[in-house]
Amino acid sequence: MATQKLQVGRALKVIPSDYANIPFPAVMISSTVTSVSGFTLTDITAEFIALGIQAGDILYSYDANYAATVESVESETTLVLNLTTGFLLEGNDYIVFNGENNNGCVLYIGVGPTAGAGDIAITTIGYDEVVLKNVAQGQFIPVQTIKLSAEGTTATNILALW
């Protein structure tokens, strides 16, 4: 009897978000927040336009457990996001990922004392929104996924795998 083998080439720790899809781990910039106000993030060391950052790219801050989508690039140093920056603080590190490359990933529910089993609310590559109930630690979810929503997700330490 043949068995299926999952072969992974890329991985990313996922921040569940109702405001951003899961980004493919193609980093466009990794830097530090200079200031935030409303929906605006400023980084005086950035060159957002020169780097090709554009609407639809995904911003993650693991420091703040924050994920948002870039709405617009106002200048080389200023981004407007689709989620208030109230969760971000000056000095938080952030990463901007290219938002166009996630054609679907599978998820892995982490194992360990800080990991937790539970529900996951996902959007599939066919844009079906479903909640998978009672997902155990150490389980792969063999569904091509583009979004892990915060609302409805109680499982923790989730990895996206491509």
Chain segment 73-88, per-residue pLDDT in tens: 999 999 999 999 999 9
Q: Whole-prediction pTM value?
A: 0.92
Question: Are the CB atoms for 109 and 119 separated by under 8 Å?
Answer: no
Question: Are the CB atoms for 15 and 62 separated by under 8 Å?
Answer: yes
Measured from the Cβ of residue 23, the count of other Cβ atoms closer than 10 Å reads 28
Task: Determine phi and psi for 38, rounding to 5 degrees.
Answer: 60, -115
Q: What is the pLDDT of residues 31-90, one digit of tens each?
A: 999 999 999 999 999 999 999 999 999 999 999 999 999 999 999 999 999 999 999 999
Q: Cα(23)–Cα(79) distance, rounded to whole angstroms?
A: 17
Class of the CATH-defined domain 27-97: mainly beta
Question: Are the CB atoms for 70 and 53 separated by under 8 Å?
Answer: yes
- The pLDDT of residue 89 is 95
Q: Cα(114)–Cα(78) distance, rounded to whole angstroms?
A: 35
Amino acid letter at 92? N
Question: Are the CB atoms for 140 and 108 separated by under 8 Å?
Answer: yes
DSSP reduced 3-state for 85 = helix
Q: What residue ranges do the domains of the chain occupy?
A: 11-16+102-161, 27-97
Question: Are the CB atoms for 109 and 117 separated by under 8 Å?
Answer: yes
Task: Determine phi and psi for 70, rounding to 5 degrees.
Answer: -70, 125
